Amino acid sequence: MKRNNFDLTERYLMGDLSAEESTAFEKLMETDTELKAELNLGKEINEAILESDIMNLRHTMSEIMNKKQKPVFIKNPFLWPATAAVFILAMIINTLFISSPADKNDIFKKYYKAYPSVYSSRSSQKQLRDQQCLRIAFEQYEKPDFESAGLLFKEMWIKDSTNNMAKFYLSIALIEQNKMNEAEKYLNELTLNKQHLFYEQSVWYLALVYLNNNKPDEAERLLNKIISENLSNKTRAKQILKSLN
């Protein structure tokens, strides 16, 4: 393309052409596909730069970058600064708005709290030994000494695999020790059976652990489950989904 066409493109974009010159330029574009493609790209870039809403800018950039057309070599010097500015803005937007593990970890920290102990003593002599172990486990849990509590809860669960309370509190103790993968394993097993008292809380804590472990799809699935099945923590589940989207 000739140099005078570069100048015409720049002046056309700036609105500096007369009515006659604009008409002649537009007629030239009918036969010069390269000029037309360059002009269209320039318009999109300028519109993106002038967009006041940064989220709309992000969407506009995505459309520009993903268009199914032949690559256009931007020869017009006028467009170079604009192009560079848009790509810099795109990098900033990606940094600010694309979800990252740190963002999800912040959500986990905001909504996570260790579940309170529910220990209540019984007078049955037959269960005295188990009750003693349970009492000590919850005492350690409330100190808090989650390492000691976790060992005791695990011991009780190993002795009785149907003891879902011990398994649940073992999971919480593991979370408190930042042993997230182990906690995820036990909580996942607890969510497979709805017929125990800690099912709803297991779903909630597993969703939080998924967020911490950077598994947003699994977390969203459980959060939607909490909402659709009207489980405990429904309101907070909605808040988290809103912040994720």
The residues of the chain that CATH labels 1.25.40.10 are 104-244
Query: What DSSP line would sit under 187-199, residue for residue?
Result: HHHHTT--SSTTH
**What whole-number percentage of the chain has pLDDT above 90?**
34
DSSP state of 116: P
Can you give the pLDDT at residue 30?
82
Tens of pLDDT, residue by residue over 146-166, are 999 999 999 999 998 899 999
Contacts of 64 (CB under 8 A, 6+ apart): 41, 44, 45, 48, 86
Can you give the pLDDT at residue 189?
95
Is the pLDDT at 213 greater than 80, yes or no? yes
Is the pLDDT at 58 greater than 80, yes or no? no
Contact yes or no for 185/163 (Cβ under 8 A) = no
- Confidence label for 167 from pLDDT (cuts 50, 70 and 90): very high
Tens of pLDDT, residue by residue over 15-46, are 677 777 778 878 887 888 777 777 776 666 65
Can you give the pLDDT at residue 117?
80
Average pLDDT over residues 7-19: 71
Can you give the pLDDT at residue 31?
83
Average pLDDT over residues 130-143: 85
What is the pLDDT of the chain when averaged over all its residues?
Answer: 75
Can you give the pLDDT at residue 82?
54
Query: What DSSP line would sit under 93-107, residue for residue?
Result: HHHHHS--HHHHHHH
Can you give the pLDDT at residue 94?
53
Can you give the pLDDT at residue 99?
43
Contact yes or no for 205/172 (Cβ under 8 A) = yes
Can you give the pLDDT at residue 87?
52
* Rounded distance between C-alpha atoms, residue 30 and residue 152, angstroms: 80
Q: Any idea which fold 104-244 has?
A: 1.25.40
Can you give the pLDDT at residue 69?
43
- Asked if the peptide bond before residue 77 counts as cis, ω within 30 degrees of 0, the response is no
Q: Return the exposure string of 152-162: e unless at least 16 CB atoms fall within 10 Å of the residue's CB, then b.
A: bbbebbeeeee
Is the pLDDT at 84 greater than 60, yes or no? no
Tens of pLDDT, residue by residue over 85-109, are 555 555 555 555 444 444 777 888 8
Measuring CA to CA, which residue among 189, 202, 195 is closest to residue 233?
202
Q: Is the model's pTM score more than 0.75? A: no
- Asked if the peptide bond before residue 144 counts as cis, ω within 30 degrees of 0, the response is yes
- Confidence label for 52 from pLDDT (cuts 50, 70 and 90): very low
Tens of pLDDT, residue by residue over 119-133, are 655 444 445 556 778
